Structure 1
Amino acid sequence: MQKKYAGLKFCTRVILLAFCCAFSVYAVDSITFNVNQITADDWALKNAILTLSQLNQTPQISLASATLVLPSPLEHITSVSVQCQQIEWHENYLNCTRGLGRFHSKQFKTLAFDFSLQVNHDKSKLEINHLSLFGGQISIYAQENAEKWQVHIKAKNINLVDLNAMFVLDFAKITQGLVDFEIKLTGNHDIVQTLLVSAVMKNLSMHDESGGVASDNVMLVTELNAVKQKNGWQWHNNSRIQEGGLFVDPVFLQVDKNNLLALTANGFWQPDQKKIQIDMLTFEHPEAILLQGNARLNYHAGLSIEEAALSVHIAQLKSAAPVYLLPFLESGVFAGIDLTGSIDAELQLKLDSVSEVNIELKNLVLNAAEQGLYINQANAQINWAKHLSAIQASFINWQQLKIHAIPFQAGQLDFISFDRQLKLLKQADLAVLGGILSINNFSFAAVEINNDATVHFDGSINNLSLEKLSTALNWEPLSGTINGYIPSVRYEDKTLSLDGKLKMQVFDGEVSIKNLASSGLFSHLPQFHADIEFDNLDLGVITRKFNTGYIEGRLSGFVQNLYLENWQPVSFYAWLGTPEDDNSTHRISQKAVENIASIGGGGATDVLSRGFLGLFKTFGYNKLGFGCYLHQGVCQLMGVEAIDNGFYLIKGGGLPRIDIIGYNPRLDWNVLINRLKRITASDQVIIE
């Protein structure tokens, strides 16, 4: 900057010398100089014609037919014409008060401006006005005094599209906008000492190449103040977005006068070392979010974060979460989530990656009805570290928790989290459905390959109420409790598996689940595999819970190779029947006879309606049993014993005795399910 003014000062002194020579020869009315070239480090004036005229009247000076070479992107300016219509001078003094200028270039075509120039010993002053450029008006004021100088540039209604076309920005394309700005520079010799830039951008619309950053009709007010220090620049910036739309993927903000965005920052810039120190950065969106931080950056090969610390405060999640949190979550999975409460978070970054995260949640209420999750009055301190050596304990507690339809009472989990892992610190006993779910061990580790995860879990269930469970799941009411030890549940390669057995005490007997596995559990097509064993269940307790008729006796059986897709049975081999060593009372009601006959297509109801057996309310039986092999949507039926034209579903015994025989060994699965639904839903028996 100073070198350019030194060249200007040289030219004015040449003019002063010419005036002195002219007045030493009184008969001279005009003088013309041809200047081949005047150069400085980054500019040059070539082929100039300098004319001094009317020396004996009102002197005038003109400079014409010159080529001015400036640094890129201004490049060559041709046909420079400068004229002083009113000038006064004497020794070491020149004052041009009515200057007119004109120049032509590839970028600007022909431009005209007014100017004034004053030079006095080691002082000089230049003022340019009414310069029409980039669709707006620009004025320039420059002053030098004993090697100290200052420059003041003011611009009004500059078209940002035109400006962007000349000073091409690699990172953004501007599609509309105007800017008013002021630039103030001060310096000494060839060193800039202070810089002040203030600007108001109106109707700014722009986007980057990827579309990840964009603005729409934004009004931005910004001010940058910089002071030269020994090793760099101390700077301060204050910016406000007062209206318009701003998109920084995936966050979109709509700003108005009641909802301003403010950004302030200060720090130190070392251009020689290509480093930027941000001592304090504050981003504030009133009633939504407050972000503060500091950072150390370098741009040796692209922008890199050496170290940074950020803190985030959200006083009201209800208003801030839809804008600042939920867009980062998968929209389909987390759609419709409602959040209230407050959050404070701190992040530490080193070498372009996050090294520590500390999050504090207070009075959190999360309602995700579509996802089947509800949590009320939760508080949490979540600490994460990249390295195991820096970990801190974490916890989360709640007053109410509901996962799908399963309600949990108040509880707490204590854990540690580091890298891509999470581990339970101590046993957690969670009150649920009148019982206790004890989580003895739990660990989670994310796997980079295929975005998979590995989960290990073991625990126990104590006195969980089947009645409350069936009510919560909208099943037919069940009685009994679930008790059992869960030795190990693993989730690996997107497959959930159970090692050992899960045992449940129900209906005065026991149900065991083993070989449990599930794949695609969180996909649109979950798959489920299991083997189930039923041991010595009380039929009297079971039939009192369902609308099927009363049966006395015991029941055992199995479901082997059970396979479900999207929770619908695809194949299995099942059997339920009277245990071989059962010595309990075997009685069955007339209603139960009719219902069982309707399942297997037997003719027992005809006998009951026409014969003397219809006089009895209950019957004795020796054994009962029902089996199904499901394959390709068809159930292959079987009973306790085969006969020539069918199979026994109930083989009679005692008095009065009755046999129920099935005659159709193959039955469509959906037909069978509909028959079972009719039996449990109505007192009337419909026989197909």
Structure 2
Amino acid sequence: MFIFSFLILGSAVPALAVDLPSAAAVAGAAPERQAVLRIGRIEAGPVRGQRLELRLSESAGGAGPRLSLSAAGLELPALSLRLRAVDWACQPVLDTGQRLRCEGEVRLAGRPQGRLAVDLSEAASRMAWSGGGRGVAVAKDRQSPWHIDLRQVPLRWLEAFLASLWAEGRIAGGEVSGQVRLPEAAGLRVEAELRFAGLGFDTPDGRFAGAGLSVPLTLRYHDAAGGQRLGLEGRLSAGELLVAPVYLAVPASGVAFALEGEAPPGVPWRFPRWAFRDAGVLEASGDAALDATGELVRLSADWASADLRLLAERYLGGVLAPTGFGDLQLGGRGGGTFAYDEEGLRRLELELGNARAIDPRGRFSLAGVEGDLRWSRDEAVADSRLAWGAAALYGIGLDASHLDFRSARGQLDLASPMRTGVLGGELRLERFQWRPPRGTAPLRIEMGLALERLDLGALSQRLGWPPFEGSVGGVLEQAVYQDNRVVFGNGLAMTLFGGRVRLDDLSVERPFGIAPSLAANVRFDDIDLSPLTRAFGFGEITGRLDGRLRGLRLVDWSPVAFDARLLTDRQWKGRRRISQRAVQDISDLGGSGLVAGLQARLLRTFDDFGYERIGIGCVLKDNRCMMSGLKKRGDGFLIVEGRGLPRIEVVGFRREVDWPTLVDRLRAATRGESLRIE
């Protein structure tokens, strides 16, 4: 009986490697005869075992032989399957073809865990486990490689094998069904047709994750002396996928993908080919490479999209959100090429057809965009052009125009200035330079532009300002965007209300992000007060205004700090008159109004008054405004110094004013409301 049991085991596991710590023992006494084989370690193809005991027994009553197997551990490394405290017993049946079959219950640590069936012969062998709707079958014959059939196998059983392909990945759930072939070859060779369901995974750094993924997949993997090779072809048919910064909720139509990789000994993974296809939305292919730490160090792609709207909705939200354009609406068709290496972006090409881009926040819009853009860090490329049929900046329409580009010295420049009509005037983009990040050097954008003769009334209407009159122009000689900050090198000069406005030390932080911040110093020279005050509905004052705002700081475009001082120009030779309405409004702002009751009667008698000077100041800090005037006057400060007859003066008495309250007073004054200060 011992010889028979040994022959059974030998036929089941060709290429048997056995370590016998003790000799096999034969024991038997009526009423039962049995043979026992104890094995310390066994390796047979994909199966390993430790401390096995094989027992074949036969009762004297003629009930037939009984085979039992116990093992301290059984392993199937290809599946990362490790079983402890295994017990299995069955009733062997030998058919006429000399094939031995045996099936019985499996217990792990004393608990039932499905059924195991073994089918053995000299020509072939098969072992199958099933339980709870799951199953694993392992088969081998002399003419073909090992076969493994899987049915709803938990992916945690494959953890070790998957870790050999992707050490950073962590399996979070799911199961797999399909077939795995293990051809006999040097090293480990795997060929598989698999169907993943409910696949979940992530990485510790959060850059890659998946949930509820359904993926039919073809896998080829070979790990030998010449290195590792990998081939994948599959289709995402359900679930969610994150490949930072791209997040994809898999569409019902599914997306196909393919990947070919190789890793020679001592060399990180290279991927000579990858492909991705979301029919009608995105088709892309290229190559890639990783470094020794698993970081992506090279990537190239050719891509095309017949529907930029769907492309933005499915793939670009996570890419655009950090720039402040996560809800950007795109349309039309596009395509192009990009290449990336260890130093950064190496090549960029873009082709657009009838494209559009609309910012829901109203910052800009483009429509009818046609043409291409070409840039290369190291190679010469042809000049390119992008043209548009309609455009707008903050609701201000721009006429149709185009941008001509030239790539040289690793940067993209305007080949010639761009001109476009705007609000009856002209916008000129004199200079534009774009240099992408390279190594430790950050992204840098530099530009210079000029505005000429813009209709101030139309501009006011578009921006919701008071109805100003006249025209406005200005020059922005140099603006540099770098490290999420815009610095205006030579300030910004503008002509406005017949005078000049200049902004120096001007910078904007996070211009497209959360809570943008602006800092500047502002000077006003010879601003014509008459159209300015009429537009604001602030009565009417004739004359010229000078002033400055030092340390101006805006957060989310609202003032949080400044030191402001506004004064009428004493050198002005024309009429200096202030209307009754303007006197009252200035009095309300200054607090406690006019100097004496006599002046209140004068207001009811005369429409306007002469003035010598007008001056008011405000230092804003911690949401409080410390107010001042021309000079001290008793317990207050003089705001309007009268001149001639009838003579009137305005004195303020409240030096500290809550900033929101002051803003409300200004709004009330411009609406013509009567606002009295208690």
TM-score surpassing 0.5?
Answer: yes
Match of 1:259 in 2: 253
Distance in 1, Cα, partners of 2:197 & 2:639: 88
Q: How far did 1:208 drift?
A: 4.0
Match of 1:363 in 2: 354
Aligned Cα root-mean-square deviation (Å): 5.0
Match of 2:286 in 1: 293
1:533-552 to structure 2, matched below 5 A, reads 533-535=524-526, 537-551=527-541
Q: Could you give the per-residue CA deviations for residues 285-305 of structure 1, whole angstroms, max 9, x where no partner exists?
A: 33432222345x688x56687
* Aligned residue among 446, 452, 456 for 1:462: 452
Match of 1:59 in 2: none
CA pair 572-232 structure 1, distance change in 2 beyond 3 A: closer
Distance in 2, Cα, partners of 1:31 & 1:687: 113
Match of 2:157 in 1: 163
* Unpaired stretches in structure 2, ≥5 consecutive residues: 27-34, 57-66, 68-91
Q: How far did 1:555 drift?
A: 1.3
Distance in 1, Cα, partners of 2:401 & 2:282: 30
1:27-426 to structure 2, matched below 5 A, reads 43-44=17-18, 46=20, 64-66=37-39, 69-70=42-43, 74-76=48-50, 78-80=52-54, 86=94, 96-100=98-102, 113-118=117-122, 125-128=123-126, 130-132=128-130, 135-143=134-142, 149-151=143-145, 153-157=147-151, 159-161=153-155, 163-164=157-158, 169=163, 170-184=167-181, 196-224=191-219, 237-255=232-250, 258-265=252-259, 280-294=273-287, 301=292, 309-330=300-321, 333-350=324-341, 354-370=345-361, 372-379=363-370, 381-385=372-376, 387-390=377-380, 393-416=383-406, 422-426=412-416
Q: Could you give the per-residue CA deviations for residues 105-163 of structure 1, whole angstroms, max 9, x where no partner exists?
A: 99999985332424xxxxxx2132545599514151413xxxxx323524242523562
CA pair 87-48 structure 1, distance change in 2 beyond 3 A: farther
Q: Is the 8 A contact 1:334 1:371 kept in 2?
A: no
Q: Is the 8 A contact 2:528 2:545 kept in 1?
A: no
Counterpart AA for 2:217: T
Is structure 2 residue 643 aligned with structure 1 residue 652?
yes
CA pair 542-418 structure 1, distance change in 2 beyond 3 A: same
CA pair 548-388 structure 1, distance change in 2 beyond 3 A: same
Match of 2:86 in 1: none
CA pair 434-96 structure 1, distance change in 2 beyond 3 A: same
* Unpaired stretches in structure 1, ≥5 consecutive residues: 1-28, 52-61, 89-94, 119-124, 144-148
Is structure 2 residue 668 aligned with structure 1 residue 668?
no
Q: Could you give the per-residue CA deviations for residues 21-43 of structure 1, whole angstroms, max 9, x where no partner exists?
A: xxxxxxxx9978999x9999883
Is structure 2 residue 457 aligned with structure 1 residue 441?
no
Distance in 2, Cα, partners of 1:497 & 1:489: 6
Counterpart AA for 1:289: L
CA pair 41-479 structure 1, distance change in 2 beyond 3 A: same
Q: How far did 1:513 drift?
A: 0.8
Counterpart AA for 2:48: L
CA pair 450-371 structure 1, distance change in 2 beyond 3 A: farther
* Aligned residue among 538, 543, 547 for 1:554: 543
3-state SS of 1:70 partner: strand
Distance in 2, Cα, partners of 1:192 & 1:514: 71
Q: How far did 1:221 drift?
A: 1.9
Q: How far did 1:570 drift?
A: 2.9
Distance in 2, Cα, partners of 1:580 & 1:192: 94
CA pair 81-166 structure 1, distance change in 2 beyond 3 A: farther
Q: Is the 8 A contact 2:345 2:436 kept in 1?
A: no
Q: How far did 1:463 drift?
A: 0.5
Q: How far did 1:577 drift?
A: 1.8
3-state SS of 2:570 partner: coil
3-state SS of 2:361 partner: coil
Counterpart AA for 2:53: S
Q: Could you give the per-residue CA deviations for residues 348-400 of structure 1, whole angstroms, max 9, x where no partner exists?
A: 35569653232323333333333733333334534343x34445545443333
3-state SS of 1:96 partner: coil
CA pair 472-200 structure 1, distance change in 2 beyond 3 A: same
**Corresponding pairs, count:** 618
CA pair 652-389 structure 1, distance change in 2 beyond 3 A: same
Q: Could you give the per-residue CA deviations for residues 498-556 of structure 1, whole angstroms, max 9, x where no partner exists?
A: 5557544433x212314242353536362422231322x444434443423344x4313
CA pair 104-167 structure 1, distance change in 2 beyond 3 A: farther
Which protein is bigger by CA-based radius of gyration? 1
Distance in 2, Cα, partners of 1:568 & 1:276: 53
Q: Is the 8 A contact 2:282 2:306 kept in 1?
A: yes
3-state SS of 1:341 partner: strand
Q: How far did 1:644 drift?
A: 11
CA pair 81-428 structure 1, distance change in 2 beyond 3 A: farther
Match of 2:669 in 1: 679
1:458-537 to structure 2, matched below 5 A, reads 458-490=448-480, 498=488, 502-507=492-497, 509-518=498-507, 520=509, 522=511, 524=515, 526-535=517-526, 537=527
Could you state the TM-score of these two structures normalised by the residue count of structure 2?
0.73
Q: Is the 8 A contact 1:246 1:253 kept in 2?
A: yes
Distance in 2, Cα, partners of 1:598 & 1:101: 100
CA pair 353-76 structure 1, distance change in 2 beyond 3 A: farther
Distance in 1, Cα, partners of 2:210 & 2:484: 41
Counterpart AA for 1:649: V
Counterpart AA for 2:253: N
Q: Is the 8 A contact 1:435 1:464 kept in 2?
A: yes
Deviates more, 1:514-523 or 1:77-86: 77-86
Q: How far did 1:231 drift?
A: 8.5
Match of 2:89 in 1: none
1:622-637 to structure 2, matched below 5 A, reads 623-628=612-617, 630=619, 632=621, 633-637=624-628
CA pair 132-428 structure 1, distance change in 2 beyond 3 A: same
Counterpart AA for 2:559: Q
Q: Could you give the per-residue CA deviations for residues 157-194 of structure 1, whole angstroms, max 9, x where no partner exists?
A: 2523562367573444445444333244667xx77999
Could you state the TM-score of these two structures normalised by the residue count of structure 1?
0.72
3-state SS of 2:391 partner: strand
